[in-house]
Chain A
Amino acid sequence: MNRFLTKDFLSGVMFVAFGAVTLYFGQNLAIGTAVRMGPGYVPRMLSMILLGLGLVICVLALVNGGEAVEKPKWKPITLVTIGIVCFGLLLERAGLLPALAVLILISSLAGEEFKLLEVIGNIVVLSILCVLVFKVGLGMNIAVLEGVW
C-alpha cells in the first residue's frame, strides 16, 4: 500500500493547502493590534492553526499509516457537476425547460442504468411539475422558454 495515498494523509494535505491559500490571500489584510484588531487578525490566526493541524495530520498519517483512499469513480461526480454548470449557464440564456432537460439528461447518464424512454418520461413529468409549482404556483421570475414565455 502506498503510504501517501491514505485518507488521512491526503486530508492533511488538503488542510495545509487551504491554510496556505488563505494565508497567502489574507496577507494584504491589516492585522491591527490585539486591542483593535484589523480585518486580518482572525483570518491569519485561523489559517496558521489550520496549517499546523494539517501538518500534524500529515505526519501522524505517515507514522501510523491508515485507510487507503478508495479509487474514485469519476463518472457520477463529473456528470453531476457538468449538469449543474449547464443548468446554471442555460437557465437565464435559454429558459427553464432547456436547462431542466439538459440537467436531467446529463445526470441520468451518471447512474448505472440509462433508458432513454424513461429519461424522456422523467423530463416531461418534471417539466410539467416545475412549471406548475415554480412558474404558476410560486410566480417565480424565470422564463420557461426565453423569449417565448
Chain B
Amino acid sequence: MELLHNLALGLGVAISLQNLTYALLGCMVGTLIGVLPGIGPVATIAMLLPITFHLPPTASLIMLAGIYYGAQYGGSTTSILVNLPGEASSVVTCLDGYQMARNGRAGAALSISAVGSFFAGTVGTILIVLFAQPLTLMAQKFGPADYCSLMALGLIAAIVLASGSVTKAIAMVFLGLLFGLVGTDVNTGAQRYTFDIPELSDGIDFAPIAMGLFGIAEIVVNLERHLTRTGAIKVTSLWPTREEIRRAIPAVLRGTMLGSILGVLPGGGPTLGAFSAYTLEKKLSKTPKMFGKGAVEGVASPEAANNAAAQTSFIPMLTLGIPSNAVMALMVGAMIIQGIQPGPEVMTKKPDLFWGMIVSMWIGNAMLVIINLPMIGMWVKLLTVPYRFLAPAILLFCCIGAYSLQNSTFHVMQVGIFGVLGYIFVRLGCEGAPFLLGLVLGPQMEEYFRRAMLLSRGDPMIFLERPISLGLLIATAALLVLMALPSVKKAREEAFQEEG
C-alpha cells in the first residue's frame, strides 16, 4: 500500500520534536489571533512570513498551516462567550452560540464546536490524502497552455465566489499580475519597472507586500474603529446533554460534507463553508424558529464546516499549486520564499514535506482540542488586553520582521508604502485577496503563456486546441457569463448581504 507507506513517512516527519513544536506553536498563535478580534489569519501569516524565512521549509509550513486552522478554533470561542467573532468564518457561530451561552449552555456549545471541528478536520485531512495523488498525477499531464488556462480558471473562480464587485476584483487581479512582473525578465534579462533601484531587480518581495496590504492596513482600519469589549460569560460544565449530542451529530456530518466541498473550490474556504452550512441547517430544521435563539445545530454545523473547508482548501494548493484564497496565496508565497515552486512536483520531489505537512495537520487538530477546552479561561482573559497596546506591538514585529528578511531597511519602507496602498484599497472597496492571487500567480502564468505561444509558433489557438485547456477555458467563460446574468447577480448580492 503506497498510501500507507506515504502516511508512515509523513508521520515520521510530523512527530519529530522540531515539527511537533512548530505545529504546537502555530496552533497556539492561531488560537490567540482567532480569539483576538481585529486580527485575522491572513494578516498574521503575512506578518510571520519573514520569520519562516529563518526556519526549515517543513517546519515553517507546518506552523503557518497551524495558524490557519487554529484561528478557526479560536474564533469560535469568542463568538460563543463574548458574541464577538474573532474570525470572519465564525460570524455565524455568534448567532446561536452566544444565545446558547446566555441560556447557560456555554460549556456545551464550546465542547460541541471543538469536537465537531476536530471531527471535520480529521475528515478534511483524510480527503487531502485521498485526492492528493490522483490530482497530482492528472496535473503532471498538463502542458504550458493547460496550466495557463487552469490559472485563469482559478483566478476567475476565486473572484466569482468572493464578495464585492466582480469587475473591480478582476481589475485587482490584473493589477496584482502587473506587480508580479516587476524585476528581471527571466527570458531576456531585461529590467522591468525597477526604476534603477537595485533591490527591485529580483522583483518586489512577496512578504513586504503581504504585510503592508493585510497587516498594516488592517491595523489602521482597526485604529479608526472603536473596538469595544464586553464581559465574557462564565463557563460551568463542558458536558453537553444527551439531547444536544443527538442533535449535534447529524449537523456536524452535514457541515463537514458541505465545508469539504466548498473548501476545494477556488474562492471558497472557511467563511463560505460556515455561512452555507448555517443556511442549510436552517432550511432542513423542523424548528427553524429555534435558530438565533440557541439552536445546537446552528453551532455544530457551521463550526464543522469552517474547519473542514480550512483543511480541504489545501488540496488545490498542494496538488496544483493554485491557491484558492488569500491564506493559500500566502502559503504559496511562503513556499516560494523557501525556494520551493508549488505544484504537482512538490509531492514527488519533496514527499517528506508534503506528507509531513498533511499528517501534522491532523496532529495539530488534536492539539487544538486540548489547547481549547481546558485553557478557555486563559484565552478569554486575553480579550481584556486593549487594542492600544496590541497595535504598536504588532506594528513593531512587522517592521523588525521585514528588516530581517535581508537586513535591509528598504523592506521596511516597502511595508510602509504597501500599507498606504492597502489602506486606499480598503477605502475604495477593492479587495486585497484577488490582488494577492494575481501577484502570486503572475510570474508563473507569464512563463506558461510565453512557453505555450513559443510551442505553437505564436498561434493563440493552442489554448483552444488542447482539450484540457479548452475545457478549462469554457468553464472560465461559463462562470463569467453566469455572473453577468441578472438573476444570478441579484442572488449573489443577496447572499453576500446576509454575510455583512
Residues of A within 8 A of B (CB): 7-8, 10-11, 14-15, 18, 22, 25-26, 29-30, 33-43, 46-47, 49-50, 53-54, 56-57, 60, 67, 69-70, 72-73, 76-77, 80-81, 83-85, 87-89, 91-92, 96, 99-100, 103-104, 107-108, 110-114, 118-119, 122, 126, 130, 134, 138, 140-142
Chain B stretch 441-488: residues in CB contact (< 8 A) with chain A = 446, 449-450, 453-454, 457-460
A56 to B224, CA, bound (A): 32
The answer on a CB contact under 8 Å between B171 and A7 is: no
The answer on a CB contact under 8 Å between A76 and B220 is: yes
Number of A-B contacts defined by CB within 8 Å:
176
Q: How distant is B390 from chain A, measured CB to nearest CB, in Å?
A: 10
The answer on a CB contact under 8 Å between A87 and B388 is: no
The answer on a CB contact under 8 Å between A29 and B388 is: no
Q: At the interface, yes or no: B219 with Cβ under 8 Å from chain A?
A: yes
Contact flags B338-354 to A (C-beta < 8 A → 1, else 0): 00000000000000000
Given contacts A111-B223, A111-B387, A126-B393, A87 and B429 within 8 Å (CB-CB): no
A119 to B392, CA, bound (A): 9
The answer on a CB contact under 8 Å between B388 and A43 is: no
Q: How distant is B10 from chain A, measured CB to nearest CB, in Å?
A: 29
A2 to B280, CA, bound (A): 41
Residues on the B chain within 8 Å of A56, using CB: 167
Residues on the A chain within 8 Å of B36, using CB: none
Q: How distant is A28 from chain B, measured CB to nearest CB, in Å?
A: 10
Residues on the A chain within 8 Å of B170, using CB: 53
Closest Cβ neighbor of B409 among chain A residues: A88
Q: How distant is A142 from chain B, measured CB to nearest CB, in Å?
A: 7
Q: At the interface, yes or no: B291 with Cβ under 8 Å from chain A?
A: no
Q: How distant is A98 from chain B, measured CB to nearest CB, in Å?
A: 13
Among the 9-residue stretches B107-115, B199-207, B397-405, the one with 4 or more Cβ atoms under 8 Å from chain A is B397-405
Residues on the B chain within 8 Å of A76, using CB: 220, 223-224
Among the 9-residue stretches B248-256, B303-311, B417-425, the one with 4 or more Cβ atoms under 8 Å from chain A is B417-425
- A selection of 27 A-B contacts at a CB cut-off of 8 Å is A8-B168, A10-B428, A14-B430, A39-B188, A39-B190, A39-B192, A42-B181, A46-B178, A50-B174, A57-B168, A60-B167, A69-B427, A80-B220, A80-B395, A81-B419, A84-B415, A84-B416, A84-B419, A87-B396, A91-B399, A107-B395, A110-B223, A111-B223, A111-B391, A113-B388, A126-B393, A141-B407
The answer on a CB contact under 8 Å between A103 and B178 is: no
Q: At the interface, yes or no: B187 with Cβ under 8 Å from chain A?
A: yes
The answer on a CB contact under 8 Å between A80 and B389 is: no
Residues on the B chain within 8 Å of A142, using CB: 403, 407
Q: At the interface, yes or no: B226 with Cβ under 8 Å from chain A?
A: yes
Q: Interface centre among A40, A88, A110, by most B CB within 10 Å?
A: A88
The answer on a CB contact under 8 Å between A130 and B400 is: yes
Query: Apart from A37-B453, A84-B216, what 16 extra A-B contacts exist at CB < 8 Å?
Result: A14-B428, A26-B192, A29-B190, A29-B192, A33-B458, A77-B420, A81-B416, A83-B395, A84-B416, A85-B416, A88-B409, A91-B412, A99-B399, A103-B399, A122-B393, A141-B407
Q: At the interface, yes or no: B54 with Cβ under 8 Å from chain A?
A: yes
Closest Cβ neighbor of A141 among chain B residues: B407
The answer on a CB contact under 8 Å between B396 and A103 is: yes
Q: At the interface, yes or no: B261 with Cβ under 8 Å from chain A?
A: no
Q: At the interface, yes or no: B175 with Cβ under 8 Å from chain A?
A: yes
Residues on the A chain within 8 Å of B174, using CB: 46, 49-50, 53
Closest Cβ neighbor of B408 among chain A residues: A92
Q: How distant is A38 from chain B, measured CB to nearest CB, in Å?
A: 7
The answer on a CB contact under 8 Å between B427 and A70 is: yes
A87 to B459, CA, bound (A): 52
| Candidates B54, B409, B427, B453; contact of A138 at CB < 8 Å | B54
Q: At the interface, yes or no: B14 with Cβ under 8 Å from chain A?
A: no
Closest Cβ neighbor of B459 among chain A residues: A34
Residues on the A chain within 8 Å of B391, using CB: 107-108, 110-111
Residues on the A chain within 8 Å of B285, using CB: none
Residues on the B chain within 8 Å of A99, using CB: 399
